[in-house]
Amino acid sequence: MCGENVEITETFTYLGSVIHRSAGCEPEVKRLLGWAWGVMDSLNDGVWLCRHLCKRTKVRVFRSLVLLVLLYGCETWTLTADLRRRLNSFGTMSLRRILGYHWSDFVSNQRLLMESGMRYVTCIIRERQLRLYGHVARFPEVDPAHRILCARDPSGWRRLRGRPHVSWLRQVHRFCEEMGMGQAAAWRMAIRRPREYRRRVNAATRCQGACPHT
């Protein structure tokens, strides 16, 4: 390319995120899950087992330090059912560890989230992705990001046989349907009524134990 040899590789790191040749986010999510578990372990003796800190403070530390590592760049993730399950399991298992619950205590995830004032991790991801969608909608029409989301399939193009792969736009479309509107309606609302759009997003993602499958 331009007279230079370009190495072909499976993955590479760009702006702190792992880019895979499959265009999926599974390697990136698994990498950040490992880092987040490492942060949880490093704070075990000093924070989680500290008797001088209340549960509310421990949850705030979890939000500020652990989730900050886990959700880096989550606005562009395209999640499969398995990745959603792993992310939600990480959140609930971490909260049980922070609040001092054992598996034999039989505390449900709904009670755990209500007690900690937290949401499922996938609910937080969904909120950030919808906010990114609204943010891009307000970009100038000549902006590359705005043009990509507005792009149409070329005339005469036919999709390959088989089940279509999950894409970021299909994921956002499902989120918009949960808000009670289509993707185009959400796009127009984000441009013309950004405050109303943010209110709808907040209402749709305020799910303390309501939708573990999202």
pLDDT tens digits for 50-73? Answer: 999 999 999 999 999 999 999 998
- Domain contains 187: yes
Same domain, yes or no, for 146 and 171? Answer: yes
pLDDT digits (tens, 9 = 90+) for 99-150: 998 878 888 999 999 999 999 999 999 999 999 999 998 988 888 888 888 7
**Range with the poorest average pLDDT among 90-99, 141-150, 160-169:** 160-169
Bigger pLDDT: 187 vs 86: 86
Of 125-134, 146-155, 168-177, the least confident: 146-155
Closest CA to 169 of 70, 73, 77, 88: 77
Residue 19 has pLDDT above 80, yes or no: no
pLDDT at 97: 93
Residues 61 and 83 in one domain: yes
> pTM for the full model?
0.84
Q: Does a structural domain hold residue 158?
A: no
Query: Within this chain, do residues 199 and 107 fall inside the same structural domain, yes or no?
Result: no
Using pLDDT thresholds of 50, 70 and 90, give the confidence band for residue 9: confident
| 130 and 92 share one domain | no
Residue 16 and residue 114 in one domain: yes
Task: State how far the Cα of 39 lies from the Cα of 137, in Å rounded to an integer.
Answer: 35
CB 114 within 8 A of CB 203: no
Number of H helices, E strands in the chain: 10, 2
Q: Is the pLDDT of residue 209 over 60?
A: no
Q: Is residue 112 part of a domain?
A: yes
Determine, yes or no, domain membership for 209: no
Q: Which of 110-124, 168-182, 200-214 is least confident?
A: 200-214
Q: Answer whether residue 210 is part of any domain.
A: no
Q: 188 lies in a domain?
A: yes
131 and 179 in a single domain? The answer is: yes
**Distance between CA atoms of residues 119 and 102, nearest Å:** 20
Give the pair of three-digit tokens for residue 174: 């499902």
Residue 83 — very low, low, confident or very high, per pLDDT cuts 50/70/90?
Answer: very high
Residue 114 lies in a domain: yes
Band of residue 27 on the pLDDT scale cut at 50, 70, 90: confident
Mean pLDDT of the chain: 86
Percent of the chain with pLDDT over 70: 91
Mean pLDDT on 163-173: 80
Residues 83 and 143 in one domain: no
Work out how many domains the chain is built from and give that number: 2
Q: For residue 181, what pLDDT band results from cuts at 50, 70 and 90?
A: confident
Determine the structural domain holding residue 148 and report its residue range: 126-153+164-204
Q: State whether 38 and 19 are in the same domain.
A: yes
State mean pLDDT over 78-99: 93
Residues 132 and 185 grouped into a single domain = yes
98 has a pLDDT exceeding 80: yes
Dihedral (Cα; 110, 114, 122, 135), 10-degree rounding: 150
